Amino acid sequence: DAKTTQPNSMESNEEEPVHLPCNHSTISGTDYIHWYRQLPSQGPEYVIHGLTSNVNNRMASLAIAEDRKSSTLILHRATLRDAAVYYCILRDGKFGNKLVFGAGTILRVKS
Amino acid sequence: SAVISQKPSRDICQRGTSLTIQCQVDSQVTMMFWYRQQPGQSLTLIATANQGSEATYESGFVIDKFPISRPNLTFSTLTVSNMSPEDSSIYLCSVGKDRDYNEQFFGPGTRLTVL
Q: Is the pLDDT reported for residue A2 higher than 70?
A: no
Q: Using alpha carbons, list the distances in angstroms from residue A68 to A26, A57, A62.
A: 9, 20, 12
| B45, B96, B106: residue with CB nearest A43 | B106
Task: Write the single-letter amino acid at B15.
Answer: R
Write out A14-42 in H/E/C secondary structure: CCCCEEEEEECCCCCCCEEEEEEEECCCC
Interface contact A46-B105, CB threshold 8 A? yes
**Mean local confidence (pLDDT), A87-93:** 90
Interface contact B100-A44, CB threshold 8 A? no
pLDDT for position B16 = 97
Interface contact A49-B33, CB threshold 8 A? no
| B31, B92, B103: residue with CB nearest A43 | B92
Per-residue pLDDT of A94-108, as tens digits, reads 766 788 899 999 999
Report the residue of A98, A100, A105 to disrupt the B interface, i.e. the one with the largest count of B CBs within 10 Å.
A98
Confidence category of residue B51, pLDDT binned at 50, 70, 90: confident
Confidence category of residue B99, pLDDT binned at 50, 70, 90: low
pLDDT for position A18 = 97
